[in-house]
Amino acid sequence: MVLTEPEDPAAFKQFEAAGWSRQADSYEQLTGRVTAAAAEALLDAARVGPGLRVLDVASGSGHVAAAAAARRAEPVGIDISQGMLDAARDAHPSLEFMRGDAEALSFGDGSFGAVVGGFVLNHVPRPERAVSEAARVLTRDGCAAFSVWDRPERTRLMGIMSDAIDRAGLDRAVGVPPGPDGFRFADEGAFTRLLENAGLEQVRIGTLHLSVGLQSADELWNGLLGGTVRAAAAVLAASEEDRRRVRKAFDELAAGYETEDGGLALPAVVKIGSGVAQ
């Protein structure tokens, strides 16, 4: 697999930072609680335990850092989005969160016993740099772990909006600067090479299967528009008529995941890759 760097990484990064700041207040409606469900598996993969200094890259609203603190580790969270930092500090005032760029960490070599990145690799323009930076700040035998979504045909929670946009005939690239494929590391070979090329050893890729329960298609629609950036951009930029077409397609797709009680249950599959610094 050939990985291409965006023509303007700074523009893509700015788009992501601004988008997540806008979504900070609505993130917990859906996406935040789903990503939180993967926090323990991510920390297990990074071998996080008592007394370990942990860097949580792209900490978002702070779920992973809080879970690390509950293990009596010593987390430091960084995020490029000021809105997310504010949300994390409000939710977890006793923990440390600071502004930071995953591709250029402001810490010295060997500063942390573990580095974790929950769903960050699909939001940075140059993931190779992000993983290399994570490896750099690890102590010898320290462990890094990253989670990514599996392909949208398996992670229907993340695929249903894009499919509805396509079915309605809209261009998903509208409002989004050119960037990398957000699902490329769902391929275990590509994920393994990413970690090994950063100098990590004993690389492992695991899979976590989640089922996301919702009360209605409205809850799913509002949760995705308020808890994603790229997936929501085309819908939010569309005309009222185009948005109605997307919503019609969305409801048709969502009907395939109805449960006996009238709610919805969508699969969300997570890949977790880890490796050890030497």
For the stretch 180-197, pLDDT in tens is: 888 999 999 999 999 999
For the domain 9-276, what is the CATH superfamily, name and number?
A: Vaccinia Virus protein VP39 (3.40.50.150)
Structure confidence at residue 2 (pLDDT): 36
All structural domains of the chain with their residue ranges:
9-276
pLDDT digits (tens, 9 = 90+) for 233-263: 889 899 999 999 999 999 999 999 999 999 9
Does residue 3 register a pLDDT over 60? no
Q: How many Cα atoms within 13 Å fall on the side-chain side of residue 169?
A: 5
Mean pLDDT of 137-147: 98
Distance CA 54, CA 112 (A): 6
Per-residue pLDDT for 4 more than 60? no
32-83 confidence digits (pLDDT tens): 999 999 999 999 999 999 999 999 999 999 999 999 999 999 999 999 999 9
Q: Considering the chain, what is the average pLDDT of its residues?
A: 95
Average pLDDT over residues 144-156: 97
Going by pLDDT thresholds of 50, 70 and 90, the confidence category of residue 7 is low
